Each structure stands twice: as C-alpha cells, then as structure tokens.
Amino acid sequence: MTLFVLLILALIMLVGCVGGGKVYVLTITVLGEGDLPLEGARVVAGKETRNTDADGKAVLYRSWGITKVEVTADGYQAASMLITVIKDRTGTIRLTPSR
C-alpha cells in the first residue's frame, strides 16, 4: 500500500513538471437532436464555463492533465466526458433530449 501511495505521489509530481504550466486550447462541440449543433449549451471544465456558439462550439483553456467536461442545456439530459489534455484538443458531446 505504501508503495502504491509513493507511486501516485511521484506521478503527481511528474505531471506538474511535464505540463510546465502550458495552456492548451480545448474546443468542445455540442450536438443536439438530429446531431445538429446546439447553441447556448453550458460547457464547464474545472472553474471555467462557456456557452456554445451558433456552431455548437465552446473554447476552453486547460493545462496539461485529465479534464472532466460537463455539458447542460435546456430540454436535454446533462452529459459529461473525461478528456486527456496533452496538446490542443477537440471533443464532441451529443446530448439526448429529455422527454
């Protein structure tokens, strides 16, 4: 157990060194019914919140690591995904209408 904890701590320290504080662009596309872009969806990653534009896109800025992205929109079920950020990334989240 002690070895496991030490490995986790070493990994955390390595992540801090490798990331170097660089900020990457994370572009999330939100699709609604019929796989059409969903404007006005709320996209949250950490403390950063953006609303999607007319193309269903929200641009966030994240540092190196694993980021949980959560999306909500009126009339749709909330959804989330984990994205590993090691460079500029894109992701797509499809929302299901709430009925």
Domains along the sequence of the chain with CATH = 21-94 (2.60.40.10)
Q: What pLDDT, in 10s, does the model give residues 43-67?
A: 999 999 999 999 999 999 999 999 9
Of 16-30, 40-54, 81-95, the range with the lowest mean pLDDT is 16-30
Comparison of pLDDT for 6 and 91, the residue scoring more:
91
82: closest CA among 45, 41, 37?
Answer: 45
Q: What pLDDT, in 10s, does the model give residues 63-83?
A: 999 999 999 999 999 999 999
